[in-house]
Amino acid sequence: MLDKIAFSQLYDFQEVQLIAFFFSSCKLLNRLSNYMEL
């Protein structure tokens, strides 16, 4: 039971990192496309 809780916490942490990475990538792409238009 304890391992299952620890695993779910680890999975949530990885999911949060993935979402943060996705958003930063979107920001970077948006900035890059704006730079290309100028």
Q: Which has more confidence, 34 or 5?
A: 34
Entry field: residues in the chain:
38
| Mean pLDDT along residues 20-38 | 92
Kindly report the average pLDDT of the chain as a whole number: 86
Q: What is the per-residue pLDDT for 1?
A: 57
User: In this structure, what token pair is assigned to residue 30?
Assistant: 């948006």
What are the angstrom distances between the C-alpha of 21 and each of 5, 6, 18, 24, 29?
A: 24, 23, 5, 5, 12
The answer to whether the pTM exceeds 0.85 is no
| Mean pLDDT along residues 25-36 | 93
- Report d(CA 4, CA 6) in Å as an integer: 5
Q: What is the per-residue pLDDT for 37?
A: 82
CA torsion 18-21-26-27 (nearest 10°) is 150
